[in-house]
Structures are given as structure tokens and as C-alpha cells.
Amino acid sequence: MHRMGYHWKKTPGGQFVDGHEREDVVYYHQTIFLPAWTEIKIRTCTWTKDNIEIINGPQPQQCPIVVWFHDELTSYSNDHRKIQ
């Protein structure tokens, strides 16, 4: 394995190991995703801690936008190992 360039090392810690700090990803978030999210936020509804709906919009001729969040977790059998 050493001849092929493989070696034992500690796995990266934390939630993000997918390149979320790469320059192109940061650029996309800052210039495309966040401005688009800001534009649709006025057409979504929010709730208070007492579960009272706060209606932010919509504008008279626009439909409200419902945001559906999906949280997906992928686990592997060797996740508990510190060195791979």
C-alpha cells in the first residue's frame, strides 16, 4: 500500500468534510445563493416561539413560497474509527 501512496492518517473532524470552504463554493454562496434566498424570504411565513404565524408577504399577485428543508444523514460502519 505504501508503494501506491497510501498511508494511515487521522480522519478530518467536524461536520463538514466536503469542501465547504473552497473558493468556488464560498463565491457561490455569497453571490448567488444568499441573494436569491433574501429575495424569496419576503414571500415565506415564519412563526414565533408561541407558534403564531407571522406573514411576511406575499405581494398581491405573488403566491407564497413554502420552503421544505430536508436533513439527510449518511452513516458508515467505520465512522467510529479515528485513524484510517
Averages of pLDDT over runs of 10 residues in the chain (84 residues) are 76 61 89 92 84 72 79 63 60
Distances (CA, A) of 31 to 16, 25, 28: 21, 10, 5
Q: Report pTM.
A: 0.50
pLDDT at 63: 80
- Cα–Cα distance measured from residue 82 to residue 9, given in angstroms and rounded to the nearest whole number: 8
8 Å CB contact between 46 and 56: yes
